[in-house]
Structures are given as structure tokens and as C-alpha cells.
Structure 1
């Protein structure tokens, strides 16, 4: 097989899940209220947030209703209508739910940027990643990133890693603007962006459903089984413990 592109997931693949969930998410949650005081969303983003909030009203998930009801107590209470004032608390709720929501990812990326630049955050990347990237680059294989985090957040992880600045080893970055990571069309879109047949792209992930979507689009697939990763359902994909 003539692989010309590596498409790499981040969480659970090149970086530990614990770094994302125990460092990045709590940092964003801690700073999000203060950050949003001076942040201006576009009208398009406001509409996107409003629609997401109203979808949660319809779903009436108990924690959501408890947080945003008029009296903050029960499922039958009247819900608050959407307003800018509820957004900070709503984003905290979305972080708790690990919701893959574009406007939230955008804000998280900017908060993390401040943390990285101040030195409060240093990203953890698995030690074997650097040698793998160097080897692939030396062999003429291009490295790309596809993660649910915003492109800005992806770049920051590799720029401020404990292994040094790794940005020179990557050619391009993709987030959910190309589509969801469990959707076949997303991988077809990336292949089009790369101007490459799908069978010349190898996708690395820790999630079987993502692997299935990439495989159905014609990509070669490898699943990473890193320490702390979530156990996966039975599958026939090759499994690596390291690069």
C-alpha cells in the first residue's frame, strides 16, 4: 500500500486523554466566565448558540433543566429563555458534557492560547510521537491532524508540547468544520482537501466508530491502544500500543 498521508487524531492517540480532561477542560471551565465578559461572538455564532440551547430545552436533560430553570429546582419548572447572560453557565455545562460544539471549541482554544502563552499550560504529547513524525517526514509522508478540538487548539498542543515545538512536522489541520469524526463524508472531504485518493491516507485514532467511518471512505486505519484509553468494542482493525 502506497501511503502518502498520515491523518492523526490527538486525544488518546498522540496525547493522553488525561491531559485533555484533567488539564485543558478544567482550565477552560475555570476561566470561561471571565473570558466571555469581553468576547464578542458574530451574529452567526450567536444564532448557533441559541439553537443549541433551545435543542437542550427540548431534550430536557435533568442537569440542564436544574441549572437553567426559573427556580433551579425541578423538571416542571419554567425554563429561562436564551440570552447572553446564560452563555457562560451554558458553556460550563457543555464542557461538563464534553459536547463537540463549534462556538465552545472556538472559545476554549482562545482560553488555552492565553494559558500556553503565559506558561500555565504545557501540553503532554506521547514521547514516541516525535520520532514517528520525524521518520514519516523523512520518508516523504505528510502528517496531518484531524481532531474534534478547534484547529487553533490543535496547533497550540503541538506548539507548546513538552517535546518542543512540533508544528514543522505537520502540513495541515482539520476540525469538525469538515464534518463529524464518525461520519464517512468527513473523511471523503479531507481526501478531497488533500487532493489524494483515500487509499493513500492512513488514519490513526483510538475510537472504533471513527475508524469505521474512515475505513468506509477508503482510508487505511490503525487504532491506538494507549494507557487510559476507553476500551473499544470488538473490531478487525490493526492495533498499535505505540508508534
Structure 2
């Protein structure tokens, strides 16, 4: 018996277009100005440095083109890490849709400013509120699991065009529990919910995430929303809507 709904956001409860055409450009445009007054913890700054140096070692042209010739050692095509390079680096990671914790944290704070100022209103599929309410009425708890930070997840549902939907959710999970394509992440979530995996139904638009959740015993539904990325053949249940 299902006791919990675990819901992805992008391509599941909200259109991919909203994330890529509204949220990402908003964060990218304001990244440099926001980071002028932002202080990373030593741990987070080290994470950024490690990720930066990993990308620098690959020397991928899209990465290198983010920086000026003065910043680039042209003979070796290598950059010395400097915190002043972080804005350009984070803009690159946004372009790549990199699921990187420190970036997600900063994006969430930038979006918070946008939501609170009224510049951003989130787009949520019209069938979502009814589905969440019906689940709640049946005694099923609703939870979120997304690569965006917990703060960003809450903002999407708080400032939606359909109203504040936070009342329908019990808890939120981000990649602090692990990657969405890793089975251990779903084991951790089940443990935190205090439920057997087969009491949890996971909704996503990505087959690899579905496979990871299914491998620990969760029931899985794949959403086939307009604009979603075509998936490889699979045997999971497919819904066009809630």
C-alpha cells in the first residue's frame, strides 16, 4: 500500500521550459552581482575549487571560452583558481545544467530574491494541486526530491501561479542525500521517511532515476509531459498527467 508520493519537479510537476527559460537565465544574469556580497564557507569554497580544477584539466572549449586571455595561460590552457573567477565559472555550469551543490545553493538564494520581489512566478502544471490534495485526503504524504536545493524547491511551490502549495508537502529532499540516479539515495529517503521502499511511489521524467528508485523496491511512474526529453525504451508505468 502506497503511503508516500515522492515527486520530482522539472518535467514532472513543473515544465522543463520554466526551469530552463526562466529560472536559469534569471540566475545567470544576476550571478556576478550577487556573488559580490556572498561569502562561501571554507568547505563550499574548496568544493568549488575542486570542481573548477577538474573542469580546467579537461580543457573543454566551452569552459575555456568563459575566461579572458589575461586569465588564461594560453600555452597550457590552464587557469589558476581564483575566487574572482567563480561568477564566470558558475555561468558556465548553468549553461551545462550541472547538478553541483554550491551552484544550486547560490541559485536558490538568487531565485528567492526574484520570487520575493515579484519578478518570478513559478509555473506548475494545472493538475498538480488537485493531485496533491487528493493524495492528502487519502492519507498519502507528498514529498519532493529534486536536484535543486531544498530552498529552491520550496520557493517553486510557495510562489506558483496557482497559489501557495506548500501545505500539500510534508518534506523535501535534494542531492544532499545523494544523486538521483543512485539507488543509495532512495534507500536513504525511505529510511528518513520511516517506510519500506514499496510503500513509496516515485514520480519522475527520467528513466535512469526510475531505475534507481525501482531497484530498491519503490513503485515508479514516469511522466510524459509536453517538452520532456524522449526516454529510452522501458517497462515503467507512463502517465501523461496526474
TM score, norm. by length of structure 2: 0.97
Gaps of 5+ in 1: none
Contact 2:59–2:77 under 8 Å retained in 1: no
1:151-197 residue CA offsets vs partner (Å, 9 max, x unmatched) = 00000000000110000100000000000000000000100010100
Contact 2:73–2:79 under 8 Å retained in 1: no
Larger CA deviation: 72-81 vs 37-46: 72-81
1:90 is aligned to 2:89: yes
1:101 is aligned to 2:100: yes
Once the two structures are superposed, the pairs formed by residues 17-28 of structure 1 within 5 Å of their partners are 17-28=16-27
Query: Offset of 1:76 from its aligned partner?
Result: 4.7
TM score, norm. by length of structure 1: 0.97
Contact 1:69–1:77 under 8 Å retained in 2: no
Query: Offset of 1:71 from its aligned partner?
Result: 5.0
Distance 2:86 2:53 in 1: 12
Contact 1:70–1:78 under 8 Å retained in 2: no
**How many aligned positions are there?**
242
Once the two structures are superposed, the pairs formed by residues 55-66 of structure 1 within 5 Å of their partners are 55-66=54-65
| SS of structure 2 residue aligned to 1:221 | strand
| SS of structure 2 residue aligned to 1:173 | strand
Distance 1:153 1:125 in 2: 14
Q: Which residue of 2 aligns with 1:229?
A: 228
Q: Which residue of 1 aligns with 2:141?
A: 142
Distance 2:77 2:162 in 1: 51
User: Could you say what the CA RMSD is over the residues aligned between the two structures, in angstroms?
Assistant: 1.4
Distance 2:32 2:72 in 1: 23
- Shift in alpha-carbon separation, 1:75–1:240, aligned structure 2, 3 A: farther
Q: Which residue of 2 aligns with 1:196?
A: 195
| SS of structure 2 residue aligned to 1:233 | coil
Distance 1:149 1:88 in 2: 19
Contact 2:198–2:217 under 8 Å retained in 1: yes
Contact 1:10–1:146 under 8 Å retained in 2: yes
1:44-100 residue CA offsets vs partner (Å, 9 max, x unmatched) = 000000000011012221111233474578975442200111000000010011000
Contact 1:16–1:124 under 8 Å retained in 2: yes
Once the two structures are superposed, the pairs formed by residues 108-147 of structure 1 within 5 Å of their partners are 108-147=107-146
- Shift in alpha-carbon separation, 1:49–1:202, aligned structure 2, 3 A: same
- Shift in alpha-carbon separation, 1:5–1:75, aligned structure 2, 3 A: farther
| SS of structure 1 residue aligned to 2:65 | helix
Larger CA deviation: 162-171 vs 55-64: 55-64
1:212-237 residue CA offsets vs partner (Å, 9 max, x unmatched) = 00000110000000000000000000
Contact 1:8–1:143 under 8 Å retained in 2: yes
Query: Offset of 1:239 from its aligned partner?
Result: 0.2
